[in-house]
Amino acid sequence: MSGGGVRHLYVHLPFCATRCGYCDFVTLVGRTGEHGAYVDALLRELALERDALADPLDTIFLGGGTPTFTEPAALERVLASLPAAAEVTIEANPETVHEGLTPVLARNGVNRVSIGAQTFNTALLDVLDRRARPEDVRRAVHVLRDAGFENISLDLIYGIPGQTAPDLERDLEQALELAPDHLSCYELEAKPGTRFTHAHGEELGRQADAMEGYFELVVETLVDAGYRWYETANFCRPGRESRHNLAYWLGRDYVGIGIGAVSTVGARRWRNAPKLRPYVDALASGRTPPREDEPLDPATKARERLMLALRLDEPVPLQAVGSAIDPAGLARAERLGLAERRGGGLALTRRGRFLGGAVTAEILA
């Protein structure tokens, strides 16, 4: 063991084959010719941050974009250069998972794959501009299982224009048939002003009205199927939490590299600028990439700690968040049966978790 104290690393691989209408991540479509140069820059940034990182790391998460869309040689160079870590997750679109990919992942220490399934309904996949078909999801899971991957997560989205509650039930059913180790279920967030929102305006309103029913359906179905609702939007089989994401929710330090990536270390948070060219150029000439800094005072840290911790099913120790709590607000939330103290810690009740945002706002000083 050596190095600094940061035990969690995020690596941003922004490239995608196409852009999905609803997506608001930092992504770049195509540009396969630039993958190599980007990876060069990424590895230079990793070298810059190396001193801050523990070795071995606890977790690494490769997110995107579509990390598995990255040109294979470039992808392997990234993976091969990463420090060792107990959990290494990569995000993948179903159509990018094939027999050629799995050995690359396996021999470079990737041991967790998060597949962006979103829905098993062909028409709804089209609404989302997703390329993969439902059979691609099933095939991807089988390919990964066959290659020995034992920690597979599926992403689902609900509230898609045109979706009905029975549609969602079928999605959940088909996802469960694949016996994933972990599920992330998100409501579709349509950002105002986007083409997607413009195209589906009225229908998005109807979906918003249905959203609370969907959320209950998701939680009930997955909990009934034996999954643990360990975070607002995340479910796992026992012991299969995303350790990387848990690190965020527990307020641990992390370093993020790549365009748009965010790092939080101690009292400092910084975000890399989202543009490719300035990022590559700066690192090519040995400079840190353009960044936006955000100092975090202890009060802000405490508020974040509380806000993140209340997303989890396990209580947060009161002494860690005490200064961020409004006692009157907490008392109200407790009286309404939305929050409770358990073993020296604070957690939301089951009903409180469905209203997590409002209850957190209530409790926050």
Partner 1 sequence: MSLDLIRNFSIVAHIDHGKSTLADRILEVTQTLSGREMREQVLDSMDLERERGITIKAQAVRVAWKGHQLNLIDTPGHVDFTYEVSRALQACEGALLVVDAAQGIQAQTLANAYLAIENNLEIVPVVNKIDLPQSNPEGSAADVADLVGEEPDRVLRISAKTGEGVEDVLDAIVERIPAPEGDPAAPPRALVFDSSYDQYRGVVAFVRMVDGAFRPREGLRAMAQGTRFEAEELGFFSPVRSPMETLSAGEVGYVITGLKDVSRLRVGDTLTSEVRPASKPLPGYKEVKPTVFAGLFPTDSDEYPELRDALERLKLNDASLFYEPETSQALGFGFRCGFLGLLHMEIVRERLEREFDLDLLVTAPNVAYRVETKAGEEVEVHNPAEFPREVERVEEPYIRATTIVPKDYVGAVMELNNGRRGRFHHMEYLSEERVMLAFDLPLAEIVYDYYDQLKSRTKGYASFDYDVTGFGEGELVRVDILLAGDPVDALSLIVHRDTAYARGRELVDRLREEIPRQMFDVPVQAAIGSRVIARETIKAKRKDVLAKCYGGDITRKRKLLERQKKGKKRMKQVGAVEVPQEAFLAVLNLSGERR
Q: Which residues bind partner 1 (CB under 8 A)?
A: 10, 184, 186-187, 189, 211-213, 215-216, 232-233, 245, 248-249, 254, 256, 260-262, 264, 269, 271, 294, 300, 303-304, 307-308, 311, 332, 336, 338, 353-362, 364
CB atoms within 10 A of CB 187: 17
Q: With beta carbons less than 8 A apart as the criterion, state whether 90 and 110 touch.
A: yes
Gyration radius of the chain over CA positions: 21
Dihedral angle sign, alpha carbons of residues 215, 221, 223, 228? negative
Q: 303 Cβ partners below 8 Å, 6+ apart?
A: 324, 364, 365
**CA geometry: angle 200, 204, 206, nearest 5 deg:** 130
62/338 with CB nearer partner 1: 338
Q: With beta carbons less than 8 A apart as the criterion, state whether 309 and 359 touch.
A: no
Distance of closest approach, residue 218 Cβ to partner 1, in angstroms: 11
d(CA 62, CA 201): 33
79/307 with CB nearer partner 1: 307
179/361 with CB nearer partner 1: 361
Buried b (16+ CB within 10 A) or exposed e, 37-56: bbbebbbbbbebbeebbbee
100/327 with CB nearer partner 1: 327
109/356 with CB nearer partner 1: 356
106/355 with CB nearer partner 1: 355
Distance of closest approach, residue 79 Cβ to partner 1, in angstroms: 20
Distance of closest approach, residue 27 Cβ to partner 1, in angstroms: 13
Distance of closest approach, residue 188 Cβ to partner 1, in angstroms: 8
95/248 with CB nearer partner 1: 248
One-letter amino acid for residue 165 of the chain: A
147/250 with CB nearer partner 1: 250
Distance of closest approach, residue 165 Cβ to partner 1, in angstroms: 14
77/311 with CB nearer partner 1: 311
Closest CA to 131 of 142, 116, 153: 116
One-letter amino acid for residue 38 of the chain: Y
Distance of closest approach, residue 212 Cβ to partner 1, in angstroms: 4
Distance of closest approach, residue 156 Cβ to partner 1, in angstroms: 12
Distance of closest approach, residue 60 Cβ to partner 1, in angstroms: 12
59/102 with CB nearer partner 1: 59
Distance of closest approach, residue 351 Cβ to partner 1, in angstroms: 9
Phi then psi dihedrals of residue 139, to 5 deg: -60, -45
DSSP per-residue string spanning 202-235: HHHHHHHHHHHHHHHHHHHHHHHTT-EEEETTEE
Q: E strands along the chain, which residues?
A: 2-3, 8-13, 15-16, 28-29, 54-55, 57-64, 85-92, 112-118, 152-158, 182-187, 228-231, 234-236, 255-257, 262-265, 268-272, 291-295, 316-317, 339-342, 345-348
Closest CA to 131 of 68, 218, 74: 68
Q: With beta carbons less than 8 A apart as the criterion, state whether 212 and 168 touch.
A: no
Distance of closest approach, residue 202 Cβ to partner 1, in angstroms: 21
